[in-house]
Amino acid sequence: MRRILMVSLCAVLVAFCLDLYAKSKQEDFPVPRPPFSEGIFPCSSCHAGMETNAKRRVLKDEHKNIVLKHAAEQRWCLDCHDAQNRDKLRLANGDHVDFEHSYELCGQCHGNIYRDWKAGIHGKRTGYFEGGQRMYMLCVNCHNPHDPAFKPLKPEHPPHRPLQKGPAHGK
Amino acid sequence: MEAWRFFKQTLVLVAKGRPVYYAWCALLLLVMGIGLWFYLKQMETGLIVTSMRDQVSWGLYIANFTYLVGVAAAAVLLVIPAYIYHFDPIKEIVVLGELFAASSIVMALLFVFVDLGRPDRFWHLIPGVGILAFPESLLAWDVIVLNGYLVLNVVVPVYILVNSYYEKEPIQSFVVPLILLSIPWAVGIHTVTAFLYNGLAARPFWNASILAPRFLASAFCSGPSMIIIIFQVIRWVSNIKITNEALFKMAELIAYAMFLNIFLLGAEVFKEFYSNTIHLAPLLYLYEGLHGHTALVPWMWLSLAFNITAFLLFLIPRTRQRLATLNIGAFLIIVGVWIEKGPGFVAPGFIPDPLGEIYEYFPNFTELAISLGIWACGLFVFTLFMKVALPIVRGDFIHSKYTKSISN
Amino acid sequence: MGNRVYTRREFIKTLSVAAATGAAFSSLSSCTKEAREEFLQKRFVEMTDAEKKGVIARLEEKYLRAYGKQFQISTQGARPKTLWGYGLDLSRCIGCRRCVYACVKENNQSRYDPQLQWIRVIRLKKGSLINLEDSEHYYNPQEVPEPGFTYQPVQCQHCENPPCVKVCPVKATWKEPDGIVVVDYNWCIGCRYCMAACPYKGRVFNWADPKLPPEEANTAVHYLGNRPRYRNVVEKCTFCIQRVRSGRYPACVEACPTGSRKFGNLLDENSEIRYIIQHKRVFRMKEDLNTEPKFYYFFAT
């Protein structure tokens, strides 16, 4: 009897350690606060009391401004947003992640980019690379998750021509 | 001290002269004054008053510098016949040629000085006091060899002239080695100046081995041509015996140098146009224009026409040995080589710039005024030298005559 | 006859001596102590620590007078076992020039007359990346990137074999132990030989007194980096020496909206730049010139 207890205790301990190990493999990166729209988070403030309609459709009542241009044929909202808890995102295997860890969600399909991002060569880092706080921009800091294509920007002024005089326009 | 007494005498010589002398000096001083005024403005505001910018960071000043170093090297074309081949018609006037070289070097150094952004930090270049990056930097070499050449070309003529004044024989073992040294040194100053451009891998137009030979060839055209004209002026002004024979011999040597110059140009043109790589761009800019920029094209063709014409004039004995055509040829060479070695050399090194931009540099009035001021300064220095040297060479200004006049 | 000559010679002599004395006297008396010290200042590398402190104090006072702000001038040296390298992702640069102006703001460049920019972004046609002759520097469309073009920012490449260092006649520019090529603005004589020698147009010149609006001045500066410069001296990108020696990213890296710019220590195996060289296809500009630049261009995708 005592032997069975000891073995099961060890098994539980091992399982706990493995679980811990599995969790620690999800590295933590110093990221800024996700760029939520004003007042939208936490989502549960509206969704906690709502019924979940899991039917794939175009939304008519709320979130009408979100037009999905990101594998729209293959997926819809509830493939990434967890149906039960809107404050979390849903990975393909059913696991939940915070919005601060949204990169894990993106990384499921965009593996090369995720690998590059973790190494620091995709995306942007600011702050200190040594001896201070380094900040990794989240995917969503640059790419709107619903419409990720990078939008063109207006370029800054070209340099002055060689003999051009006077201050730059508008400065 | 004898030297001090001699110097005081020269001040007298310089202060007195014919009306044409006063007029000439007044004109030169006026041009120098205008140049100085513009230079003070440049000092006050900065080099932005010129047309030079990041894309073309060297302009008219360095173009003139390059040309004048070549002119200075040309004194050797007198020294070689005189001292190596003992060609007597030239031997008497070598001293004048060396003073001419010294004046050219003064002009060249002045052009570098006005081009410097911070002339107040000039002392940084003095070895021992500042830091002179010898031997890594070719500019450091240039500082040394140019100043050395200036010293050589002042010490030797002054020594010879002072001895003539005191009717003493110059010590041959002192002066002849220095004169012989000035031959490789003259080749050296222009080679170092060529290497200064040659060593820059960033500028494919300059990074060509042909640069040093081409520089020497064109130097031996431009300097002696100036000497031909100047010696005729001296002959007219002071009745010094300068035989036509001496002038014709120099013109013959110039013809050979000009042939080499044109041949080397042909070699460059062949290589760039036939290989037709991206590095053709600067040469194309000069002779055809690049992307619609054609400012230098007429000048380059003019220079080529001048050079070829002058070459023929000097090659054919009948035109070489007639003063009128000789002078036309000399004038054509002076202008032709200036165009080719000045703007036609410095500007295309920067066009197109290393990132492909084309900024068509053209000097503005400030640069012209300062450049003319420096040319006037050089001519003024040479005039003063001649005002003292010619009476000595002629035998009018000698110590025994002076002491006689004092005792009277 | 003899007497007249004597008098005139005397006159000329007296006049010239008087003129020379007067000029020397006036220039000496108008020279303040500060100006004299600045004139006689040694090259930075030759200074003792005490001399450096004196120079920094004098400069901070001068900048306070000129800009009304208290500057902190650092003289922080290179860290050991460090060689800075830069990566630029050409597949992501869209030519927006935000880096150019972030650099100008961080590094106190002259804003106009002349306008100095350490970074120049050139636009190249797709299919012709190496031929810079068809580059366009002054593109100004409504939006970037324009279809059919790529953009390549160029700045000082901090070569390991810098041709600019080789040609400087007074050694005013040199390569620091951590690989940054710097200029001592108080030693430069403004001959611009280094500008002719640079194959990347990395160096720019203060053709006049720099016009830096005091309200835009950045006061966290380094002596060899972004302190306000002088008329007629040369300057260039310093890899933000005032930032990187404390471990901060350069200003251009932080400004880039597409994350095209990467920076790190080439001698650190775990740095971003080493990862790039290891895993991406990198090239450097004009490698045939053997300058060994430390600015690596690559395509991440």
Q: How far is CA C203 from each of CA B59, C136, C190, rounded to the nearest angstrom?
A: 17, 19, 12
N-terminal to C-terminal alpha carbon distance within chain B:
22
Pairwise CB contact (< 8 Å): C139 & A154: no
What integer best gives the mean pLDDT of chain C? 88
Report pLDDT for A106. 92
Pairwise CB contact (< 8 Å): C232 & B118: yes
Cβ-nearest to B54 among C113, C204, C230: C204
- Report the SS3 class of residue C235: strand
Q: How far is A98 from chain B (nearest CA, A)?
A: 48
Task: Give the mean model confidence (pLDDT) for residues C41-67.
Answer: 91
- Report the SS3 class of residue C87: strand
Q: How far apart are CA C28 and CA B21, in angstroms?
A: 37
The answer on pLDDT for A61 being more than 90 is: no
Percent of chain A with pLDDT over 70: 90
Which tokens hold the place of B38? 């513009």
Q: How far apart are CA B158 and CA C166, in angstroms?
A: 38
Instruction: Tell me the residue type at B25.
Output: C
Q: How far apart are CA B107 and CA B150, in angstroms?
A: 11
3-state SS of chain B? CHHHHHHHHHHHHHHCCCHHHHHHHHHHHHHHHHHHHHHHHHHHHCHHHCCCCCCCCCCHHHHHHHHHHHHHHCCHHHHHHHHHCCCHHHHCCHHHHHHHHHHHHHHHHHHHHHHCCCHHHHHHHCECCECCCCCCCHHHHHHHHHHHHHHHHHHHHHHHHHHHHCCCCCCHHHHHHHHHHHHHHHHHHHHHHHHHHHCCCCCCCCCCCCHHHHHHHHHHHHHHHHHHHHHHHHHHHHCCCCCHHHHHHHHHHHHHHHHHHHHHHHHHHHHHHHHCCHHHHHHHHHHCCECCECCCHHHHHHHHHHHHHHHHHHHCHHHHCCHHHHHHHHHHHHHHHHHHHCHHHHHHHHCCCCCCCCCCCCCCHHHHHHHHHHHHHHHHHHHHHHHHHHHHHHCCCCHHHHHHHHHC
The answer on pLDDT for B401 being more than 90 is: no
Report pLDDT for B407. 62
The pLDDT-based confidence of A22 (bands split at 50, 70, 90) is: low
pLDDT in tens, B20-36: 899 999 999 999 999 99
- Report the SS3 class of residue A54: coil
What integer best gives the mean pLDDT of chain A? 84
DSSP code, position A37: P
pLDDT in tens, B325-381: 999 999 999 999 999 999 999 999 999 999 999 999 999 999 999 999 999 999 999
pLDDT in tens, C143-155: 999 999 999 999 9
Report pLDDT for B141. 95
Closest among B62, B111, B150, B96 to B382, alpha carbons compared: B96
Of the CA atoms within 13 Å of residue C72, those in its CB half-sphere come to 5
DSSP code, position C267: T
The answer on pLDDT for B171 being more than 90 is: no
Q: How far is C246 from chain B (nearest CA, A)?
A: 31
Q: Which residues of B are less than 8 Å from C47 in CB distance?
A: none
Q: How far apart are CA B237 and CA B221, in angstroms?
A: 25
Tell me the domain boundaries of chain B. Answer: 19-398
Q: Which residues of A are less than 8 Å from C144 in CB distance?
A: 152-155
Pairwise CB contact (< 8 Å): A142 & C145: no
Pairwise CB contact (< 8 Å): B143 & C192: no
Task: Give the mean model confidence (pLDDT) for residues A111-115.
Answer: 92
The pLDDT-based confidence of B48 (bands split at 50, 70, 90) is: very high
Q: How far is A151 from chain B (nearest CA, A)?
A: 28
Pairwise CB contact (< 8 Å): B45 & C208: yes
C81: left (phi over 0), alpha (psi -120 to 50) or beta: left
Q: How far apart are CA C249 and CA A125, in angstroms?
A: 8
What integer best gives the mean pLDDT of chain B? 90
Q: Which residues of C are less than 8 Å from A154 in CB distance?
A: 96, 142-144
The answer on pLDDT for C4 being more than 50 is: no
Pairwise CB contact (< 8 Å): A129 & C263: yes
Percent of chain B with pLDDT over 70: 96
Tell which C residues from 80 to 139 touch B, by Cβ distance under 8 Å.
113-114, 120, 122, 131-135, 137
Which of B9, B200, B285 to mutate: most C Cβ within 10 Å? B200
Q: How far is CA C23 from each of CA A123, B110, C20, C29, C38, rounded to the nearest angstrom?
A: 63, 21, 5, 10, 21
For B18, list phi and psi in degrees, rounded to 5: -80, 165
Determine contact: B359 vs chain A, CB below 8 A.
Answer: yes
Task: Give the mean model confidence (pLDDT) for residues B46-51.
Answer: 94
Cβ-nearest to A116 among C211, C248, C300: C300
Closest among B230, B233, B165, B168 to B393, alpha carbons compared: B165
Q: How far apart are CA C156 and CA C158, in angstroms?
A: 6
Q: Which residues of B are less than 8 Å from A163 in CB distance?
A: 51, 53
- Reported pTM: 0.88
The pLDDT-based confidence of A150 (bands split at 50, 70, 90) is: confident
Q: How far is A162 from chain B (nearest CA, A)?
A: 6
The answer on pLDDT for C101 being more than 60 is: yes
Neighbouring CB atoms inside 10 A of A153's CB total 16
Which tokens hold the place of B264? 């080397």
Residues of chain A in Cβ contact (below 8 Å) with chain B: 162-163
pLDDT in tens, B69-110: 999 988 777 777 777 777 666 666 788 888 999 999 999 999
CB-CB contact of A94 with A103 (8 Å): no
> What residues contact A77, with CB distance under 8 A and at least 6 apart?
A59, A63, A68
Determine contact: C36 vs chain B, CB below 8 A.
Answer: no
Percent of chain C with pLDDT over 90: 77
Q: How far apart are CA C148 and CA C37, in angstroms?
A: 56
Q: Which residues of C are less than 8 Å from B54 in CB distance?
A: 195, 201, 203-205
CATH, domain range B19-398: 1.20.1630.10
Task: Give the mean model confidence (pLDDT) for residues C183-202.
Answer: 95
Range in A113-127, B99-113, B273-287 the model is least confident about: A113-127
Q: How far apart are CA B343 and CA B350, in angstroms?
A: 11
Q: Which residues of A are less than 8 Å from B54 in CB distance?
A: 162
Q: How far apart are CA B385 and CA B398, in angstroms?
A: 16
N-terminal to C-terminal alpha carbon distance within chain C:
94
CB-CB contact of B101 with B146 (8 Å): no
Task: Give the mean model confidence (pLDDT) for residues C7-12.
Answer: 47
Q: For residue C40, what is the nearest residue in chain B, using CA coordinates?
A: B121
Task: Give the mean model confidence (pLDDT) for residues B47-63.
Answer: 94
Determine contact: B55 vs chain A, CB below 8 A.
Answer: yes
Q: How far is B357 from chain C (nearest CA, A)?
A: 7
A–C CB contacts, 8 A cutoff, strictly below: 113
Range in A7-21, A92-106, B340-354, C36-50 the model is least confident about: A7-21
The pLDDT-based confidence of A8 (bands split at 50, 70, 90) is: confident
Pairwise CB contact (< 8 Å): C135 & B356: yes
Which of A112, A114, A116 to mutate: most C Cβ within 10 Å? A116
Q: How far is CA A136 from each of CA A30, B197, C154, C240, rounded to the nearest angstrom?
A: 6, 48, 25, 20
